[in-house]
Amino acid sequence: MNLREQMTALAQRSQKAARALAKLDAATKNKLLLAMSDGIEKAADKIKAANAKDLEAGKKSWLSSAMLERLTLDEKRIADIAKSVREVAALADPVGTTISETTRPNGIRIQKVRVPIGSILIIYESRPNVTVDAAVLCFKTGNAVILRGGSEAIHSNLALAEAMNVPGLPANAITVVPTTDRAAIDELLKLDELINLCIPRGGEGLIRAVVEKSRIPVIKHYKGICHVFVDRDADLDMAERIVINAKCQRPGVCNAIETLLIDAPLAGTFLPRIEKALAERKVEIRRDADWQTEYLDLIIALRVVNGVGEAIEHITKYGSAHSDAIVTNNKATAERFLREVDSSSVFWNASTRLADGGQYGFGAEIGISTDKLHARGPMGLEDLTSYKYVVTGTGQLRE
Amino acid sequence: MNLREQMTALAQRSQKAARALAKLDAATKNKLLLAMSDGIEKAADKIKAANAKDLEAGKKSWLSSAMLERLTLDEKRIADIAKSVREVAALADPVGTTISETTRPNGIRIQKVRVPIGSILIIYESRPNVTVDAAVLCFKTGNAVILRGGSEAIHSNLALAEAMNVPGLPANAITVVPTTDRAAIDELLKLDELINLCIPRGGEGLIRAVVEKSRIPVIKHYKGICHVFVDRDADLDMAERIVINAKCQRPGVCNAIETLLIDAPLAGTFLPRIEKALAERKVEIRRDADWQTEYLDLIIALRVVNGVGEAIEHITKYGSAHSDAIVTNNKATAERFLREVDSSSVFWNASTRLADGGQYGFGAEIGISTDKLHARGPMGLEDLTSYKYVVTGTGQLRE
């Protein structure tokens, strides 16, 4: 079999698994999730041995120490991964719930019922724990998953998938693409009749390449150019706390801000104050930025704008429609900002760092979308479902 | 400007229009819709003159008389189109409504609020009334629309768009692609950062070509291979009525059935009876079909299967996941069918012809989706919206 045939066969098995998974009830899925958690704990030594292979190869290919650190699976990390699986078991299962129900004048009852999406392809370049995270969220929602992680983690990912392959799990419910050949991704992305959704997670380059090649619907965000706008009517103490939190609490993530917009009347008051506060935290301030760079570091672009209108214009032009905040005590100004800024999450007097599935109460997060279709913003279990219309009648016809 | 530059400029203007449209409230949009309806009535002579050009060109290029008939816009059809615009004005506007709202333990309020999608590209090959239908449904939901109809209707479509371009309408809210060059579609489908959604409507060939080329998310159905399964526990009078309605009431549409599945125990009773009833209505019965042809005509494929399990298997293998029905008085059998048949609409004791936005109470329909992402089944106004998370706090930070 050539690579195309191999990937087609793999996707066919995954689609078949999806049909079996769709029939499982919540109790069965949760029992299997607990078994997977146990399976991971029991396989700790095997997983560490596989991980050691990846680490050895990584050292030989001169991976950075930060990369090696992220790749490492020790006893504690494996225990944490197993614990996170038990947490997913405890969440409510959205599949089978009724989104809406109506009875029409002719007596038919129309129920809009959540169903799994089918087979989901996750392409990522992150830590091996994503393998388990993505697998269990897809499984919880009755979806089959095809996982294509970074080639540097292939042995770890295969060992984790094996540990999750517990008795009673439908065959091919969780598939790790068994080759690190990049051409395998290209073949998979053509299979829009076998794979229902692709979620790429990683750098902008990876995601653009996936969108370019995919015939499968893709949900993603390219990057997070997030803003805080401090309005003339802001509580300046609150503004300082929010700016510092949004920039410094974890600068390397997508919902941290890259740009601070300050309303012109605050140029003599808040501006010097926040410059001092940022400098104290070793944040480099760029007044002459390109406004479109995702620093992911202790660097902030700073611009003085004249009023909320200019702030909205700046965010519309340079932002990435991810998460943007206004700090103000003026309700009318806030409402205009919340309405006109077309981002997946808009904040009034709160930090952009709160744009997160956990913070929003979803219990888990499969990613964040800046797309407008299907799912937008932090994505939880519901976003891994589709729906069908179930129509019940007593012989109704189309007149 | 070459074609690529022209189409990019067109899409940029549409994206800008989308931002203006998103700010309009329901009352303003409805006032403009009523003005559009008047505009169409007032421009009836101009529209007929433009239509005459299309008809003349159509005759010269040997369009079939059925095609010419569908292309024709007479006084009555123009009045009907104007009336349908007033009906859309009367529908509720989903934009700005709150889908869900929650307050988190830290006090932030998270509202999930409906917003327009942005700029929507509609590619179609149908009657010119689709131009108005699609334009007003997109406008009602605050979306800009780019319309690419069949080249044989270009003058009619341009005249209809001009008639809808009423004073107060944001510039470029409704755009008819001004060229019949097919390469224009290819260029538009690359502009995923300017166009948010593509809905192709037409034959399977058109839709496959769009999916193949598009970097923009596409919502569609390829075809409607719909089934009725008459179970051993069916009310046979009801079964006959449903089969006849689902096949004969309008055979040329996607939710008409192509295949009748009859449970084996009914081979001696219902089978001869329905054969007679179908023959009386001049329906050709094919017992040895390929099970995957969309006849769109008075032809029906017929197969005897052994029980609901085989029926589900047949539908899964040969169906198009559009609309499928079971006729039975056995609740357990029905529930299995409704759960396991993975189609956008599943019916118990009702005709598949009811799979329709109007029948479901949506008030209007922009199309039917057999996709799993974003929208599935008949699509109404809500399916032309996205959402954003609006988070309101009192200074909350990420701890």
Closest CA to A204 of A229, A185, A218, A224: A224
Rounded Cα gap, residues A386 and A118, in angstroms: 9
- Domain covering A3-219+386-390, topology: Aldehyde Dehydrogenase; Chain A, domain 1 (3.40.605)
**Amino acid in the structure at residue B95:** V
H helix intervals, chain B: 3-22, 26-42, 44-60, 65-71, 75-90, 129-140, 154-164, 183-188, 204-213, 236-248, 270-280, 307-318, 331-340
Sequence spans of domains, chain B: 3-220, 226-354
What's the pLDDT score for residue B352?
98
Residue A156 neighbours by CB under 8 Å, 6+ apart: A47, A50, A51, A54, A71, A73, A128, A131
- Residue in B245, B349, B392 closest to A398 by CB: B245
Q: Which pairs count as long-range contacts for B210-213, CB under 8 Å and 24+ apart, including other chains? A: B210/B123, B210/B185, B211/A192, B211/A215, B212/A215, B213/B185, B213/B186, B213/B189
- Buried-state track B292-311, b at ≥16 Cβ within 10 A, e below 16: eebbeeebbbbbebeebebb
A388·B192 Cβ contact <8 A: no
- Residue in A235, A249, A344 closest to B389 by CB: A344
A361·B245 Cβ contact <8 A: no
Q: What is the mean pLDDT of chain B?
A: 96
What's the pLDDT score for residue A66?
86
Residue where the block lists tokens 């009336």: B83
Q: Which pairs count as long-range contacts for A308-312, CB under 8 Å and 24+ apart, including other chains? A: A308/A229, A308/A231, A308/A263, A308/A333, A308/A336, A308/A337, A311/A227, A311/A229, A311/A231, A311/A261, A311/A263, A311/A337, A312/A336, A312/A337, A312/A340, A312/A341
Q: What's the whole-number mean pLDDT along residues B338-355?
A: 98
What's the pLDDT score for residue B184?
96
Residue A205 neighbours by CB under 8 Å, 6+ apart: none
Closest CA to B243 of B377, B352, B359: B352
CB A287 within 8 A of CB A234: no
B245·A117 Cβ contact <8 A: no
Statement: residue A126 has pLDDT above 90: no
Distance from CA of A315 to the nearest CA of B (A): 13
Q: How confident is the model at residue B279 (pLDDT cuts 50, 70, 90)?
A: very high
What's the pLDDT score for residue A148?
96
A344·B196 Cβ contact <8 A: no
Q: What's the whole-number mean pLDDT along residues A315-322?
A: 97
DSSP assignments along B26-74, one per residue: HHHHHHHHHHHHHHHHHTHHHHHHHHHHHHHHHHHTT--HHHHHHH---
Q: The domain B3-220 belongs to what CATH superfamily?
A: Aldehyde Dehydrogenase; Chain A, domain 1 (3.40.605.10)
Residue where the block lists tokens 């479109």: A292
User: Chain A contacts of B23, Cβ < 8 Å?
Assistant: 339-340
For residue B237, give the chain A residue with the closest CA: A395
Q: What's the whole-number mean pLDDT along residues B379-390?
A: 97
By residue count, chain A amounts to: 399
Rounded Cα gap, residues A343 and B114, in angstroms: 12
Q: The domain A226-354 belongs to what CATH superfamily?
A: Aldehyde Dehydrogenase; Chain A, domain 2 (3.40.309.10)
What's the pLDDT score for residue B301?
98
Rounded Cα gap, residues B87 and B264, in angstroms: 47
What ipTM was assigned to the predicted interfaces of this complex? 0.95
Statement: residue A140 has pLDDT above 90: yes
Distance from CA of A49 to the nearest CA of B (A): 36
Q: What's the whole-number mean pLDDT along residues B117-133?
A: 93
Q: What's the whole-number mean pLDDT along residues A147-161?
A: 95
In the three-class reduction of DSSP (H, G, I as helix; E, B as strand; rest coil), residue A226 is classed as strand
Pairing of strands A299-305, A284-286: parallel
Rounded Cα gap, residues A55 and A75, in angstroms: 15
Share of chain A above pLDDT 70, in %: 100
B389·A395 Cβ contact <8 A: no
Q: How confident is the model at residue A393 (pLDDT cuts 50, 70, 90)?
A: very high
> CA A90, A95, A100 angle in degrees (round to 5)?
125
Q: Which helix (H) or strand (E) holds A145?
A: strand A144-148
Question: pLDDT tens-digit profile of A29-59?
Answer: 999 999 999 999 999 999 999 999 999 999 9
A350·B104 Cβ contact <8 A: no
Rounded Cα gap, residues B64 and A79, in angstroms: 70
Q: How confident is the model at residue B127 (pLDDT cuts 50, 70, 90)?
A: confident
Question: pLDDT tens-digit profile of B179-216?
Answer: 999 999 999 999 999 999 999 998 899 999 999 999 99
Question: pLDDT tens-digit profile of B69-108?
Answer: 999 999 999 999 999 999 999 999 999 999 999 999 999 9
Residue B103 neighbours by CB under 8 Å, 6+ apart: B109, B110
What's the pLDDT score for residue B176?
96
Q: Which helix (H) or strand (E) holds A391?
A: strand A385-396
What's the pLDDT score for residue B363?
87
What's the pLDDT score for residue B1?
87
Statement: residue B125 has pLDDT above 90: no
Mutation target vs B (from A98, A223, A397; most B CBs, 10 A cutoff): A397
Question: pLDDT tens-digit profile of A216-258?
Answer: 999 999 999 999 999 999 999 999 999 999 999 999 999 999 9
User: Chain A contacts of B348, Cβ < 8 Å?
Assistant: 390-393
Residue A140 neighbours by CB under 8 Å, 6+ apart: A29, A33, A88, A89, A91, A93, A381, A384
Backbone angles phi, psi at B121, to 5 degrees: -100, 120
Q: How confident is the model at residue B303 (pLDDT cuts 50, 70, 90)?
A: very high
Sign of the alpha-carbon dihedral angle for A143, B349, B336, A16: negative
Phi-psi region of B268 (alpha: psi -120 to 50; beta: other; left: phi over 0): alpha
Q: How confident is the model at residue A329 (pLDDT cuts 50, 70, 90)?
A: very high
What's the pLDDT score for residue A364?
85
A396·B351 Cβ contact <8 A: yes
Residue B375 neighbours by CB under 8 Å, 6+ apart: B219, B369, B383
Rounded Cα gap, residues B264 and B270, in angstroms: 10
DSSP state of A92: P
CB A230 within 8 A of CB A334: no
Statement: residue A175 has pLDDT above 90: yes
Q: What's the whole-number mean pLDDT along residues A150-171?
A: 96
B376·A391 Cβ contact <8 A: no
User: Chain B contacts of A238, Cβ < 8 Å?
Assistant: 394-395
- Residue in A217, A339, A395 closest to B373 by CB: A217
- Residue in A102, A354, A389 closest to B345 by CB: A389
For residue B195, give the chain A residue with the closest CA: A372
A19·B316 Cβ contact <8 A: yes
Distance from CA of A5 to the nearest CA of B (A): 20
What's the pLDDT score for residue B66?
86
Q: Which residues pair with A175 in a beta bridge?
A: A146
CB A139 within 8 A of CB A122: no
Closest CA to A173 of A157, A162, A183: A162
Please state the three-class secondary structure of A266-293 as a single string: HCCCHHHHHHHHHHHCCCEEECCCCCCC
Q: How confident is the model at residue B53 (pLDDT cuts 50, 70, 90)?
A: very high
Token code pair at residue A339: 């309405």
Statement: residue B126 has pLDDT above 80: no
Statement: residue A125 has pLDDT above 90: no
Q: What is the mean pLDDT of chain A?
A: 96
Q: How confident is the model at residue B364 (pLDDT cuts 50, 70, 90)?
A: confident
**Amino acid in the structure at residue B297:** D
Question: pLDDT tens-digit profile of A348-392?
Answer: 999 999 999 999 999 889 999 999 999 999 999 999 999 999 999
Rounded Cα gap, residues A198 and B329, in angstroms: 40
CB A115 within 8 A of CB A22: yes
